[in-house]
Structures are given as structure tokens and as C-alpha cells.
Amino acid sequence: MSAAEIPAVRPADCPAEVFEPRTYAAGVPYALFRELRATRPVCWADEPAVGPWPAGPGYWAVFRHADVKHVLRSPDLFSSHLGATQIRDPDTDADLAFVRAMMLNQDPPGHSRVRRAVAAALTPRVVRELESVIEARAAALIDAVAERGEADFVEVAADLPVWTLAHVMGVPESDRLLLFDWSSRVIGYQDAEYARLSTAEAADLSPMGRAALAQRPAAATRPDGSPANPRSREALADMFAYAHALADQPRPGSVMAHLREGGLSREEFENMFFLFAVAGNETLRNSIPGGLHTLLAHPEQYALLRERPESVAPAVEEMLRYWPPVMNFRRTATRDVELGGRRIRRGEKVVVYHASANRDETVFADPDRFDVTRSPNDHVSFGFGPHFCLGAHLARTQMRAMLRCVLDRLPGLEAAGDPVRLTSNFQNGLKHLPVRWRPRAGAVSLRPGR
């Protein structure tokens, strides 16, 4: 949507903390969300400039579980396509056209066509066949550090999703750190530590990986000198060069080969690569460390889970509810509509807060209590409606595998210091989670992430 079509900014009645990234560096403001669910379940939030990033027109913030679900299941009223799905607007019409080609930013029927192609490639049967290799990889990562007695669990866990993605996508294992770097730059652009993260070494990469790395921009900027949107082609020139090369020679049998053979255009293939590389990584990179941190902060629940390992599956669901990996998603009103007693005008942004919906007291008994046996558990951490996460089954498989290995192989596990949160008003992530345990002699030596 062009700037001329965006309605005038309204007076804000939503606290500034809801938008400000620095709020979330200290923790998700659940007490504030609780107050807003009771008093202003739909309210207008200002969107001030954040560092070098320009101010936006503001948006409607939605906090109640029922309203969040209504928005997510009604693409005819609340579009993913009109303005894409991030709070921040694309910088230019060209940027908007570019992100609109991504499945995440489409509405039916176009979204349905691409989603069917992905679903046909990533079936439950395919995921079931992956379970044993995911279990083995999780065990190898934990065994690699078991004899140390301490580690930064974020570093340990970060390799599982990138390794799994490389395996699924047909990316050479040597290139998987490129996936890690691309995801870091996209999801962590508001955090100085992640914005320019670069862990992949050219000498370790495939020829295709080295060719892509050579195109990594030193500092992607617009002609006026302002920083380019981290999700733009300019900022991710190396990733799209790699996707272009992979489109020409996908590994037979891989998900990406299925997609290429399934009729996706080159542009659609490249955007699907973006979606897998980023969304397929961020969910696990946030939820595995976040879930473990939550468990360690509730030792009685950790002890219960050790006594009842059959509760791993509901425990994973409760981790996802209590620590949603993504805190919000944006839609755009397709016409004037009422929501939560407020009149929303066509073209205005509507941002649903999954983190608030997951603590809605009208849906969850004692919602601030962490309970690994909670059932039912109607969380919205994987979304709802047409855009429900296609990778949910794969994400759950990885979370269960890592949790079982931690329970089995790291006795006496406990926190060894304060966690460090990612600065982001979108991603609910940890950058560091120091832990310690009773070291196990004779463990295999494997450098995580390499």
C-alpha cells in the first residue's frame, strides 16, 4: 500500500511500551497485556522511529484470544497481502511487491495454491521419516557438551533447526551456517548483536555457498543513505543468489526439489526459500531455549517432567503457550470493520498479539501458571486459520527430541546465570542462556554449529 492510501494517524490510546522493542529486551509485558485485555482489548498504538528505522502510521493492537482468532481466520476482512505481515511497512512500492510474492504475505486463492504445493512436499509422513535423524542429531548435540558441565544452551540448541532445515531443503551441510546468518539478520535487525551476525566462513562452504557469500552486502542502503529494509532484496542479496543457484540444481528428493517440480515459478521458489530459511529457523531458535528457560524457572514442573517423561508432548505445547516464539503478526483491513467495539478503517494496520492471546483468562485456567500437563491447550503460537504454520509438525518433532535428550543426558541441570533476551518487538528470543549440570564422562566431542 502506498503512503497516500494510509489513513491519517489517530490519537494513541495504547501504551507506548506495547510497540517499543526495548520493552521486550526486559521481558514480555504480560501484566500490561492482562490490563489491556480487560480495559482496551483493541487499541490504537503509535509507531515511532526506532534507531535508523522510520516512524510508521500506527496500528490497531489486538489482545484477546477470540479477537486474535477472528482476525487470523478472516482474510476477507484482514489481509496478509495488502501491506504484508510485519508491523513495519515495506520502504517502497517495489519492496511491497517483492514481499507480496511470499506465501506468508498472500491471501486466498493465491495463498491456497502455493500452500498446497508446500503441503504436498512436507507431509506428516515425510516428517515421521525425519524423526529418527532429528533424534540422532539432538543426541549428538547434547553429547557434544555433556562432559563440560556447562554451556550456553542457545548455542547448543541453535544447530538443530539449521541442520534440520539443511537436510529438508537439500542445502549441503557445509552451508547450514548461512541459514543461521540469514535468519539472524532478518529476525534480529533491531538488535545490534544480531543485525550483522556472520558466522559462516568461506573456506568451509560449498562452491555455491562461497559464490553467494561473495555477494553479501557490507551495508545495504537506499540511494539516500538510509538502511535498506532487512527483508529486502538489497539486504539479502547473498541469500537470493543462493536460492537462485539452488533452484537450478535442487537435491533430488528434497522439499525444494518437490516445490520446483510442483510448478512454482522461480520467484515463488526463491521466496519459499526465504520463508523456510527464516521462519523454519526462528521458531525453534526461540522456542527451544525459551522453553528450557521456562522449565528451569519452574523447578517443580521440571521435576514432574523427569518423573513423567510421557508428558513431553503436552509439555512442549505448554512451552509454546508460555513462551510463544513470535509475539505478533500484522494484517491490513480490507474495508471498514468493527472489532472489539472499535471502528477500524480500510487500509489500517491490525496487529494481533499471540503472546497476549496465550494468557487470556477466558480461555486458559490460571493462565500465568506454567503447567506441563495442561490440557486442553488452545494456544495460537503457530497461528490460526489459513496461515496456520505448515511447519508445526516439524517444529514439535524437534522440540520433543531436544527436550527428551536434555532430560536423559544432562543430570542436575540448572541455570548458571541470567539469560540475555533479544531486543525485538516481534521475536520472543534469547541470545544467551547459561546452564550447568553434573558432567558426564566419556561424552562424544562435537563442536556445536560446525
pLDDT tens-digit readout, 32-66: 999 999 999 999 999 999 888 889 999 999 999 99
DSSP strand pairing (342-344 vs 337-339) = antiparallel
Total domain count, the chain: 1
Asked if pLDDT for residue 9 goes beyond 60, the answer is no
Residue 444 within a domain: no
Asked if pLDDT for residue 98 goes beyond 80, the answer is yes
State the average pLDDT for the chain. 90
Distance of alpha carbon 127 from alpha carbon 165, whole angstroms: 12
Distance of alpha carbon 387 from alpha carbon 392, whole angstroms: 11
231 — pLDDT class (breaks 50, 70, 90) = confident
Nearest to 220 by CA among 243, 244, 239: 239
- Find which of 30-44, 188-202, 213-227 is predicted with most confidence, using mean pLDDT: 30-44
Which tens digits make up the pLDDT trace of 151-163?
999 999 999 999 9
Between residues 171 and 227, the one the model is more confident about: 171
Query: If you average pLDDT over residues 214-238, what whole number do you get?
Result: 74
Query: If you average pLDDT over residues 184-197, what whole number do you get?
Result: 80
Distance of alpha carbon 44 from alpha carbon 350, whole angstroms: 9
What pLDDT is attached to residue 125?
81
Residue 229 within a domain: yes
Residue 449 within a domain: no
Which tens digits make up the pLDDT trace of 103-149?
999 999 989 988 888 888 777 788 788 899 999 999 999 999 999 99
pTM above 0.75, yes or no: yes
Instruction: Point out the least confidently predicted range of 268-277, 363-372, 383-392, 412-421.
Output: 268-277
Asked if pLDDT for residue 367 goes beyond 60, the answer is yes
Nearest to 311 by CA among 240, 231, 179, 407: 407
| The three grid cell numbers given for residue 33, joined into one nine-digit string | 497485556
Residue 261 within a domain: yes
Query: If you average pLDDT over residues 156-179, what whole number do you get?
Result: 93
> 193 in helix, strand or coil?
helix
Which tens digits make up the pLDDT trace of 236-259?
889 989 988 888 888 888 888 888
Residues of the domain holding 57: 3-436
Residue 447 within a domain: no
Conformational region of residue 36, where left means phi above 0, alpha means psi within -120 to 50, and beta covers everything else: alpha
Alpha helix ranges (H) inside 8-109? 21-25, 30-39, 65-72, 93-100
Residue 67 within a domain: yes
Is residue 358 within 8 Å of 298, Cβ to Cβ? no
Beta-bridge mates of residue 59: 45, 349
**CATH number of the domain encompassing residue 164:** 1.10.630.10
187 — pLDDT class (breaks 50, 70, 90) = confident
Residue 361 within a domain: yes
Conformational region of residue 56, where left means phi above 0, alpha means psi within -120 to 50, and beta covers everything else: beta
Helix axes 153-169, 266-296, angle to 10 degrees: 150
Residue 442 within a domain: no
